[in-house]
Chain A
């Protein structure tokens, strides 16, 4: 039974430099802040950071797995508040969970939470998904 307040269990995605490279190739976003540590630090970042849209894509995967596939997602939004920092030769976590905040006829709205290293990386993350 899905009702307001239903919590979708937390799941961890692991992010490393290799995933950033794969996402850069698949998305066409080759900004060096997502690849090159020297460049990233030269523009004031602590290290290489993940694409915000990779974070959002992984949160989207969390949503579509729960909702029963990519066709279920009607709206999806988020604010990028902190970067996911990805040091060399490390896997960092992207920890995602969700709560049902509205139930419609055949659809629900989710509030999504996404953190990395305990730091909130997305704010106001929401999805409207078809789900009966």
Chain B
């Protein structure tokens, strides 16, 4: 079970992630997009899911990633991600509840390029009982 003290805490990644053109191009091609100048709107999930998983895998948090199902997802995009962006992820557990034994956790992840907020994502994860 999630440690209730984790709710509302923000975990910031120690390292930045550099976005390459080949990553954007590969992601775009899968969905049939041929404009590679900017990343498709959901590209940031490539960064935020892995980063938030790393940030929230602290045993102190108590989130069991092996039983996680993706419940819902939201993106708020300030500007599209482009090749050369160096992004730092910070993740916050914004909401937590237990419904019928399943834990429902909403994780907000913000990607900043230096001080500029680029994308915010909200992932609601269901930890199955």
Q: Which chain A positions have C-beta within 8 A of B11?
A: none
Q: Does A57 contact B71, Cβ atoms closer than 8 Å?
A: no
A residues 3-35 in Cβ contact with B at 8 Å: 19, 22-23, 25-29
Interface size on B, residues (CB 8 A): 29
Determine the distance from Cα of A70 to Cα of B82 in the docked complex, in whole angstroms.
11
Whether B74 is near chain A, meaning CB under 8 Å from some CB there, is: yes
User: If A58-B31, A60-B31, A64-B40 touch, does A76 touch B74 (CB 8 Å cutoff)?
Assistant: yes
Q: Tally inter-chain residue pairs, CB-CB below 8 A.
A: 87
Determine the distance from Cα of A23 to Cα of B45 in the docked complex, in whole angstroms.
12
CB 8 Å contact bits of A85-108 with B (1 = contact, 0 = none):
000000000000000000000000
Among B27, B74, B75, B77, the residue within 8 A (CB) of A26 is B27
- Size range of the chain A interface in the assembly: 20 to 34
Determine the distance from Cα of A53 to Cα of B27 in the docked complex, in whole angstroms.
12
Whether A79 is near chain B, meaning CB under 8 Å from some CB there, is: yes
Q: Does B42 contact A60, Cβ atoms closer than 8 Å?
A: yes
Q: Does B80 contact A70, Cβ atoms closer than 8 Å?
A: yes
User: If A74-B76, A76-B41, A78-B73 touch, does A64 touch B33 (CB 8 Å cutoff)?
Assistant: yes
Whether B114 is near chain A, meaning CB under 8 Å from some CB there, is: no
By DSSP majority rule, is chain B's interface helix, strand, loop, or mixed?
mixed
Q: Does B72 contact A77, Cβ atoms closer than 8 Å?
A: yes
B residues 1-42 in Cβ contact with A at 8 Å: 23, 26-27, 29-33, 35, 38-42
Most buried by A among B31, B38, B73: B31
Q: Does A53 contact B72, Cβ atoms closer than 8 Å?
A: no
Determine the distance from Cα of A53 to Cα of B124 in the docked complex, in whole angstroms.
13
* Interface contacts beyond A60-B40, A61-B31: sample of 11 additional A-B pairs, CB < 8 Å, sorted by A: A26-B27, A53-B73, A56-B73, A57-B40, A58-B31, A70-B40, A70-B41, A74-B77, A75-B77, A76-B41, A79-B71
- Interface residues of chain B, those whose CB is within 8 Å of chain A, are 23, 26-27, 29-33, 35, 38-42, 45-46, 49-50, 70-77, 80, 122, 124
